[in-house]
A and B are shown apart, each in its own frame.
Chain A
Amino acid sequence: MKDTKGGPPGGYQVLVVEDEPQVRRFLRVTLRVNGYRVAEATSGVEAMAFAESRRPDLIVLDLGLPDVDGVEVVAKLRAWFQGPIVVVSARHQENEKVRALDAGADDYLTKPFGTSELLARLRVALRHDTRKAGDPEQGVFQAGGLRVDLDRHEVSVKGRAVKLTPLEYRLLTTLIRHAGKVVTSRQLLREVWGEAHLEEAHYLRVYMSVLRRKLEDDPTRPRMLLTEQSVGYRLRVDRD
């Protein structure tokens, strides 16, 4: 446990909002062992109060809270809280998940989840704290054989140049901007197609399918452009 907000992940303070004591216990142990400082809240109200007074770096929030709707907590936190929020949901809460993500959560975990998955999500969320970094659309993005030169608008897979239409390129760069994180369909539609097309998810699916055919070795066994069914898409980054 370090007290200074030093190099990642040491010293980051995580607020765990979870009403189940057993889950809290396991999260506490895992996170401490991996160098995070852990604070706990058992209800939405408590979480809001704590977040306001102590300003954690990251919030892990269970959506099934006893007092308030978890999505509401996300929306309220987002009004002023800058750090990443990772929501935890039970299965069969696809809608909740998507609502939480659209309300401003950065990523999600589905119970039951393993430690490695949890830590990977937190790492990505912290790295991509886009609200702070601003993440300029420049430089070179590289992951799993994919290379995208954001300045020269060039895409290649394993050294082989790939031609993309402007729309496909925009879709890819949007995913790159959120690399490693889930991006909801609405978010992608908004950023690539614009506000008017938020309900037309099948366009997005068709383009993702085309993009996969161009970039993946085997589009039916995707390595990079992963589908999170009925939530959105995730561009897989190495080691995450």
Chain B
Amino acid sequence: MSRTTQPPAATSVPAGGTVRTARGRRLRLLIAYAVAVLVVALATLLAFKLHPLVDPANIIMVYLLAVVLVAARLGHGPSIVATVLSVGSFVYCFVPHENSLVPSDLRYLATFTILLCVGLIVATLTSRLRAQVVATQQRELRSQALYQLSRGLAAAETRSALATVVRQHVQAVIGGASWLLERRGDQLAVIETPGDEPLSPTALTEANRVWRACTTVGRGAAARRSDDMIFLPMFVANQPVGLLCCRDAGGGSWGSAAALHLLEAFANNAAIALHRLIVGDEMRSSQQRIDQEQTRNVLLSSMSHDFRTPLASIMGAITTLIDNDDKLDRASKTDLMMSIREDVDYLERQVRNMLDLMRLESGILQIRREWHPPDEVIGGAMTRVEPLLVGRQVTTDIPPTLPLVAIDAILVEQLLVNLLENAARYTPAGTPVDLTIARDVRCVRIAVADRGPGIPATERERVFNKFYRGDGARRTTGAGLGLAICRAIAVLHGGRIWVEDRPGGGAVFQFELPIVEPPQQPIGNQERPGVAS
């Protein structure tokens, strides 16, 4: 963290992070020398074939080729061996000499020197080139690893998903386990990833020590290691946000500079992603606070009107009854008492709606889906609104073969009651109300249609808002929450609700609930219900 990242050193951390052991290196070297010897042997063979055709000066070219090849492919050591062997073979095989192995003249010393120089130069050049290639490859791998990590991190929407992404990438690149820790209060807490081993308590203690050091000292506190663990504090804009803790998979050589740099880069990326989540949380909670505040304000202004009006009228009616008991005739008393009853009904409904909506929107409410025949839920709702629908023609169109639907029946019944109540309240008395239910592959759709004034296109979205009251409903009591409750219920079920114009006049409120597979045939099916009717 505290260092600027540099290109990784050429000698370490090969692709995939496999660790080369010393034994493997020795074996490779041995093979290189063997190949050098083999190449010189082949060159000698070729030289023998060419010997009758060309003169010795050209034969040396064959050896030059061999040396260049070895130097280019196998590096310094093998190239020196190849040079020595080449000159030796050349002098021994192709230079006429007397009895001793050593040539009589030292002319070939120059040949040897040039060959050696060419070999070393080529070996140096190629090894430098190779080092560059390796470095480029590593840079490429590193930036790819970082790119993939940051892509994964960008997609992670929860802390746990984030920690999983980091964990997977650390695993892939250095082959060890890792844990992402987040600040909770003044301590660090591991972000749990399901199914992975937990961080040991000693490691957590150590992580907290590193954390305290870096929060007090600032960014100056660098990564710390202990045994096989490494602790990387994570910063965003000099603010500590957490800590990445990695464990070596074994083998002991993971702590190369390149691996460390890569881990630091990972930690940097993870820090930014974690910070994003933290900021997101803060924003959400402050948005929630604002929403709550707004709702409270609307609630208060709505309450002051919607509650005070009926309370005032109840108060008036009651005091009239008490104070004028002897003066009032029977009809007037009944009238006043009925008025009280209506106001109380209204207040009750208003309070109930408000509580319902708060419960629905609080997020505390868990919907309890169970399997229900749709007609039963409709029947329940119809029974409840029956008194309001007196004098209207109400038709229900329900296909007899509807399957069970998985719903929270209390809530869906409430939704239906609200829609039917609205139809009863906001359309002229005596106009019909039609309820239809239809099913397609994915959903069940229930529609409540009326022959009222309809909903203007501009209001069709807003009628489902809290405390919204359509023009037609200005003075009718009890509105403002019913449809908001309907929408909350539909949304809780993963469905939707909307309103359309009805051909021929009126409005159609429709809601759709997605279908889940129904359960097995009921018990006692040997009696085949419905057959004997």
Contacts and interface: CB of A to CB of B under 8 A. Distances in A.
A and B form one complex: yes
A54 interface: no
Interface stretch (A60-68, A79-87, A198-206): A198-206
B373 A209 contact: yes
Given A220-B375, A220-B378, A229-B410, A163 B532 contact: yes
B527 A165 contact: yes
Contacts of A220: 375, 378-379, 382, 396, 398, 435
Given A91-B352, A227-B376, A197 B533 contact: no
Nearest to A189: B523
B379 A163 contact: no
Given A210-B529, A230-B410, A203 B352 contact: no
Nearest to B380: A227
Contacts, number: 94
A168 B529 contact: yes
B172 to A, nearest CB: 47
A220 B404 CA distance: 15
Interface stretch (A16-24, A135-143, A211-219): A211-219
A65 B373 CA distance: 36
Contacts of A31: none
B530 A213 contact: yes
Given A91-B352, A165-B528, A167-B529, A202 B372 contact: yes
B413 A229 contact: yes
A212 B379 contact: yes
A140 B5 CA distance: 93
A8 interface: no
Interface in B387-438: 394, 396, 398, 400, 404, 409-410, 413, 435
Contacts of B522: 200, 202-203, 206-207
Nearest to B345: A112
Contacts of B370: 201-202
A39 interface: no
Nearest to A214: B533
A92 interface: yes
A218 B396 contact: yes
B372 A208 contact: no
A60 to B, nearest CB: 20
Chain B interface extent, by class? 35 or more
Interface string B357-390: 0010000000000111101111110110010000
A229 B396 contact: no
Contacts of B378: 220
A227 B379 contact: yes
A203 B375 contact: no
Contact of A208 (B355, B376, B435): B376
B524 interface: yes
A221 B527 contact: no
Interface residues of A, number: 35
A162 interface: yes
A92 B482 CA distance: 17
A232 to B, nearest CB: 12
Contacts of B531: 165
A66 to B, nearest CB: 21
Indicate the member of A92, A202, A213, A218 with the most B CB atoms within 10 Å: A202
A205 B348 CA distance: 30
A164 interface: yes
B194 interface: no
B250 interface: no
Contacts of A200: 522-523
Interface string B3-41: 000000000000000000000000000000000000000
Nearest to B400: A213
A227 B409 CA distance: 11
Interface in A140-184: 162-168
Contacts of B380: 227, 229
A230 B524 CA distance: 22
The 10 residue pairs across chains A and B that have the minimum distance between CB atoms: A202-B371, A209-B373, A203-B522, A165-B527, A220-B396, A163-B532, A227-B380, A210-B529, A221-B382, A167-B524
Interface of A: 91-92, 94, 112, 162-168, 193, 197, 200-203, 205-210, 212-214, 218-222, 226-227, 229-230
